[in-house]
Chains A and B, each alone.
Chain A
Amino acid sequence: MKDDEMEVTVQVRPTQGHAASKKVKVNKTGASLGQVLDEAGIDHKRKDLKVDGQPANQNTHVGPGAKITVSERARGS
Chain B
Amino acid sequence: MQVLNPALNFSHQDEIFDPAIARSLTIIGAGSIGSCVALVAAKMGVSKIIIYDEDSVESHNIPMSAYRICDLGVRKVQALKEIIKEHSGTDIVAIPEMYTGQRLRDTVVLCVDTMEARQLVFSKINPLVDLLIDTRLAQEYLSVFAIEPTNKFDVDFYKHFLAYSTEEAARIDCGTHGIAPISMRAASVVCANLINFWKNGKKEMHYEELCIALQRV
Chain A residues near B (Cβ < 8 Å): 11, 13-19, 46, 48, 54-55, 69, 71-77
Contact = CB atoms under 8 A, between A and B. Distances in A.
A74 B210 contact: no
Most chain A CB neighbours (cut-off 10 Å) among B141, B164, B166, B215: B141
B115 A75 contact: yes
Contacts of B212: 16-17
A76 B138 contact: yes
B213 to A, nearest CB: 5
Interface string B130-151: 0000011111111100000000
B215 A18 contact: yes
Contacts of A69: 217
B208 to A, nearest CB: 7
A49 to B, nearest CB: 9
Contact of A74 (B137, B160, B213, B215): B137
B206 to A, nearest CB: 9
A19 B177 CA distance: 19
A46 B168 contact: yes
Interface string B160-183: 110010101110100011100000
B105 to A, nearest CB: 22
A60 to B, nearest CB: 11
Interface residues of B, number: 39
A75 B33 CA distance: 12
Contact of B139 (A15, A48, A55): A15
Nearest to A57: B160
20 contacts: A11-B217, A13-B141, A15-B140, A15-B170, A16-B139, A16-B210, A46-B168, A55-B156, A69-B217, A71-B143, A72-B141, A73-B161, A73-B164, A74-B136, A74-B143, A75-B115, A75-B166, A77-B32, A77-B34, A77-B113
B141 A74 contact: yes
Given A46-B164, A72-B141, 10 more contacts: A16-B212, A17-B140, A18-B215, A19-B217, A71-B208, A73-B161, A75-B169, A75-B172, A77-B32, A77-B113
